Structures are given as C-alpha cells and as structure tokens.
Amino acid sequence: MSDRKMITAALPYANGPVHIGHLAGVYIPADVYARFQRRLGKDVAFICGSDEHGIPITIRAKKEGVTPQDIVDQYHEVIKKSFSDLGISFDEYSRTTSKKHHEVSQDFFKTLYDKNKFTEEVSEQYFDEKAGEFLADRYIVGTCPKCSNEGAYGDQCEKCGATLSPAELINPKSMLSGNVPVLKETKNWYLPLNEYEDFLNEWIIEGHKDDWKPNVYGQVKSWLTDGLKPRAMTRDLNWGVPVPLPDADGKVLYVWFDAPIGYITFTQEWAEKNGKDWKDYWQNENSDLIHFIGKDNIVFHCIIFPAMMKAHGNYIMPANVPAFEFLNLENEKISTSRNWAVWAHEYVQEFPGQQDVLRYALLSSAPETKDNNFTWKDFQTKNNSELVGIFGNFINRVAVLIHKYYNGIIPDGKLGETEQQEIKKAGSEIETYLEKFEFRNSLTALMNLARYGNQFLQIEEPWKTIKENPEKAANSLFNAAQIAVALAQFCEPFMPFSSEKLLTMFNCDQQKWEDLMNRDLMIESGHQINEAGLLFSKIEDETIDFQIQKLEQTKESNKKTNPKANPMKDEIQFDDFTKIDLRTATILTAEKVEKADKLLKFTVDTGVDVRTVVSGVAESFTPEECVGKQVMILLNLAPRKIRGIESQGMLLLATKPDGKLTFVTPENEVENGVEVS
C-alpha cells in the first residue's frame, strides 16, 4: 500500500440538501478513512465538490421557475456548510460550474478526441415535440424491462439498480410535458466501452477478486458478463460543459463524463493552493486512488471512468471502490421527492453540539454490504445507552475521581499487562478494520475498550480502596487514565468533536497512530488534567417523539399529495362498454339547489339537446365558475330525480389530492356532442 492516498467522495447533486443516507453511505465513512490515514502519517488528498450539471438540477430549476445556476448557487452553499458543520474534513470542496473545471474536462475530452478514442454516431434520440427539446436520459421515465418498476429513468432503474438506455424503457414518457416522445436523429460522440472489456476483466475480475467488496465486485462482474456497449459521452442539452468541437453546437459533455473529472479538477485547485503537484496523486503508481460512493454509482466509477482514464493513458486506476448500499429511514426508502429524509442542515440546527452523536449512530448502522435502517428510537438508544452510558460515563468518572482525590494530577502507578493489552488490541483492531473498510467493526473495537474501562472501574472500585489502600486506588486510576486517553486518541476519526474535547480535558495533544501503538503510556504520572465535563447528554423521549411526529406529518402530507388509487372495480365485458355514450357538452347555466349544500343544478348543451343535470359539486365550485365550461357527460344514463329535480345524465369528475372535485375536460375545445372514446 502506498504512503499517498487520493481519496474521493461522490459529488452530491446540487439540487437539494444532503440527508442521512448520503452521510451514512458516502461522506462519514470517507471522512473516517481520510482522518485515519492522516493519523497514520499518509500524504492524503481528500477531495469532493458539488455536481452542478446533473439533470436533477435542470428538473428542479424548471419546477421552481428559476435558472439552473440559481439552484446550484443556493444548494452548493447549503451542502458545503452541512459538511463543515458535521466535521467532514475535505481538503478541497469545489464545484463543477467553475471555469477551471470546464477547462479541465474539455481538455480531457479533446485528448481522447485527438487520440481517436471516440466514435461519431448518428442515432435516434427521444425528442419532446411539445417542449422542442431532445430529452436527456433522466428526462425520460417508463417501465423497467428487468423489474417492471414503472418509475425507471432512461439511464437507470433505482429500484433494481439496472443500467438502462432510454430505448429499453417500456412506455416511455417525457418528464417535461408528460407526452410520449418521438425518435429524432442526432449526432454524438461515443466511447466504445466494449473495447475495454479485456482490460476491465484483467484489472478488476482477476486483479481485485480478493480485496474488493463483494457487492462491488459482483455488480462489475455482472455487467462485464452481459457485455458492454458504446456509450455517448455528449448530450443534446443546454446546461453543462460545452463540447469543445466546432460542429457541436447545442451539445454538452455527458454528466458522467464531466463529473468524475471533477475529482481531477478539484485536486488541481487544492494542489495549486498548497504547493503540491496534482500529478503525484493521479498519475503516479505510488498513489492509492480510493473512491467512496453509493451502490448506484458503481458502474460509473468502476467501468466508465476507468475506461476514460485508460483511453487517456496517463492515469492510475482505483486501488479500491468501497461502495455502500442504501440506508432506509424508519423501514422505508429515503426519498427526497417525498421529503422522507433526515436532512443534515436541519439536524445540526435541532441537535446543536451533537454532531458526533449522528456520526456515531450512522457509522454503527452503515450499509456496508447490504441496505440498513435508521430509526429515531435506535438513534436515542445508541446515544443514551452507548455514548452516555458507556463511553461518556467511563471517561467522566475517571476525570472526576482524579480531580476529587488528586487535584487533577495523574497519580503514580504501573500499567497493568491486561490494560496494556486491551489498549493495544483496540488500536490494532481499529486499524485492521479501517484498512478493510469495515467501519462498523472498527467502531465496535473502540466501544469495546470503553466497555472494558467501565468493567475495570467497577472491579477496582477506587472510591472504596482510596481509604483502606490508597496505593491500589492510585494505581487503579492511573490505569483508568491510560484507557481514557487511549479512547480520546482513538475516537478522533469517528467522533472528532468529542476527541478534541477529551484531549483538552486531559491536556494532551493528538498523536500519530504509530506513536500511540509504540508507546507504553498514554499519559504520564504527574500530568495535570483540566476540569471534567459531560461529553454526551441524554436525549429525552420528547425530543425523539418530535422527530417521529415530523415524519408522520410528512407521511400524511404525502398521502394527500400522492394518494393511492382505489382498487379496480369488477371487470366488464367489451359489449358493456360499447353501451356507454360519452359526449362533450357545455354548461349554459348553473344554480344552487335549495336546502342542498352539495348540489348544483346545470343546464347543459350536449350537442344532441339541452338538458338538466344535477351534480354534487357545490363544495368545489361556485355556480359562476361552472358557466361556460366544456365538460364530458354520460349521455345515456337513465334519468332519476334528485331533490325533486329530474337529472338527465352525469358529468365526469375527478377528485384532487385536497378532496376538491375537478371537471374532466377535453385538452382543446371541440364541438358539443363529440363522442368520447
């Protein structure tokens, strides 16, 4: 393994804030790893930035009626602050709309173009005739051909993880207008991924079968077994990095071409500020490139980006891609569109000073090899039972007792063999597990040392032996202090805010990992420590109930916004359907029905005749709102009396999420009496 670590974290889309799924599945594990590598004395570059060219950005901009630049400017700052507030220690956090990134990604494209690595292909691409635009993959939704998910995108099904092309979707529709798109010819530049199959098989399937995570290795193997196809590296869009060719007006680089190049751009920006050579990290075999990503990005980081770098010719390949699975929230999939999430910026506001509690809870539930679940009750338990009851309780007792009996001065003592072994064991296990990207196990090793410390104090009982055997009490607290300071040092990658507080409490400096593992004592006799303070505080039921109630309110809101359709009624025969006579009609007059709050009486021109219809729409419309509306009427429904008025037909209505009714109307005005079929 190299002494130089080039660590990247997946670029978050700047179309909204980050949530706990992002944190647990990418950013907190990446930060733990980067912090630990720094403690090992490695030369670390920890790089990330906002992905500001993704289709989700343009979708949100259209939805809010603003420009894509407005969206990314807003959320770049929100995301950047959230990461900073939670202690994510990026060496550089930048953005892909920068001039520098446009230059770097265009230069990368030109290099491949000049080396004839692309093929020019004229293909049929979906075009929205109503919007007058070619549709990017993410602007097309339809049914996944592999799992039948009706909400699959044109590039990927987020339910089964399948990588798709728009042509594979069943019943595709445009997200711009809802219309069925048409196919139209356009020219783009393709990277023939099939030409890199032998390289990818040798590099990953043969070279990393023993050291890559099974979920990553398995996905890559599956794609390679199915066979790779050329993929377009340019798109017909008006938002992104312009293709640097004279005959490419109106085209931009494919977002999964420019986004990973962002890692290179941001490394260059960092290197320029710090007097470093960025090539040492990206083009030197003595550098380990590590990508932290979610499972939905495996294909891009393990196939497309490596193929791009191989085509370029100067870049190293990733040493590892520790992709994580998904984190669910209260047993349901996190959904930004449904607001089913715990947002990072809201957590920081509602739980001030408790960043490490979230870091700990998410790491202990990290979806390392399979999807995992976050619940607020479990969060409370991890804080109250583990951080307060075990970790914080032990350290606080040690510091309080040393102040009580020795005025805050570490007493004389001799490090016990068992205590030394437990400290060394914890440090060694943390290191071993982190090098294998096993974050939950490494956190368990840390907590096991705290558990041992509590057991040690309970057995030794220095508050009792101080009277009858002062020397034994001193030795007990001397050993307890060694464990406490070891915890203060070891917890830094996981809980940096707490580590800083503890090192201040024990009046110690942070040490390199190797120095900690090679020294006998963590703290010397005669060392003056500072006043003890509570590290963690109990989280009450009321606080958790409030968070759960917020989610319940979200769920209720979603039911109103996205109500489930009623089950299908009993099947009818085609002959039954042909008996129904649906026509267009226009409401001529409307008036309230006496002593009936819900009824309106209409005079309707059906094109066949003018007739009276009574309908229960008074709670949704005033009579004035109805006059002149063109509607649809069931014409041959047998008449019946309602409140003494003969109603001759039924108007077609639909119920909106808020419970209000709306008339079913033709998209464009037509003649009255036109048959609806």
* Residues annotated in a binding site: 144, 147, 157, 160, 336
Residue 50 near residue 76, CB atoms below 8 Å = yes
State the Cα–Cα distance between residues 367 and 329, nearest whole angstrom: 12
Residues annotated within a binding site for ATP: 336
Pairing relation of β-strands 318-320 and 287-292?
parallel
517-to-165, 439, 456 alpha-carbon distances in Å? 52, 20, 21
Distance of CA 213 to the CA centre of its chain: 20
Instruction: Tell me which H or E stretch contains 104.
Output: helix 99-114
Letter for the amino acid at 508?
C
- 278: closest CA among 6, 89, 48, 3? 6
Residues annotated within a binding site for Zn(2+): 144, 147, 157, 160
Which residue has 């990992």 as its token pair? 513
Residue 591 near residue 600, CB atoms below 8 Å = yes
Secondary structure of 10-29 in the HEC alphabet?
CCCECCCCCEHHHHHHHHHH
State the Cα–Cα distance between residues 521 and 524, nearest whole angstrom: 7
SS3 201: helix
- 72: closest CA among 91, 88, 56, 90? 56
295-to-140, 159, 303, 368 alpha-carbon distances in Å? 22, 12, 13, 10
Residue 3 near residue 43, CB atoms below 8 Å = yes
SS3 256: helix
For residues 264, 270, 273, 274, the Cα torsion angle rounded to the nearest 10 degrees is: -110
- 93 token code pair: 């956090």
State the Cα–Cα distance between residues 83 and 46, nearest whole angstrom: 13
